[in-house]
Amino acid sequence: MPGKHGKGVSRRHLTREMLLPIPAAKAQMRSMRAHLALVAMRKGQGNGSLAGELVKSVYMTWLLARDSGCTDPAIFEAAEIGLQRCIELVPQDGLWKVDETACVALEAVLRMQDEQLATIPAYLLRRAAAKMEHVIDSGRLPSVRDAHETSGAPDPVRH
């Protein structure tokens, strides 16, 4: 049965909670996890879980920024490259540490993430999280460069 928009597509009803940003306490917890992960990684006291937290933050923030018209992926790519360098060096030096250049890029990304968490509707956060989970479930690490290169391709996850 065709939806009221004509093309046989019915749209999900968005509740008030889905149209508003996530609750402030939840946004603060997400933000704190990411910022504390960066502090630990900056000091060389990180681990795989903290690196993963930052990878997810970079990718989610990129997806939301890209979908809202941000077209310059440079800061996200710099953050991602720094995290990848850290992960690659762990077997050699045993440290989960990001260099200062990566820290500067990660700080900029986390500032963007904080703003997004405070302002972006919950349904858009859920959509970006579903995209990220789709990538992770496929056995790949989320990658800004991969998402940027395929941004003209159809979106694999629609909500």
Cα 17 to its chain centre, rounded Å, is 21
Task: Give the three-state DSSP class for 11.
Answer: coil
Tokens 């939840």 locate to: 26
Name the β-bridge partners of 45.
96
List the structure tokens of 128.
């970006």
Instruction: Indicate the pLDDT class of residue 45, thresholds 50, 70 and 90.
Output: very high
The CA–CA distances, whole Å, from 95 to 28, 49, 68, 107 equal 28, 13, 36, 20
Q: What's residue 68's pLDDT?
A: 84
The overall pTM is greater than 0.85: no
> How do residues 71-86 score in pLDDT, each as one tens digit?
678 999 999 999 999 9
d(CA 123, CA 46): 31
Q: What's residue 159's pLDDT?
A: 34
Of the CA atoms within 13 Å of residue 98, those in its CB half-sphere come to 29
Q: What's residue 12's pLDDT?
A: 72
- Would you say residue 67 has pLDDT above 90? no
Average pLDDT of every residue of the chain: 87
CA nearest to 63, candidates 122, 121, 148: 148
- Would you say residue 150 has pLDDT above 80? no
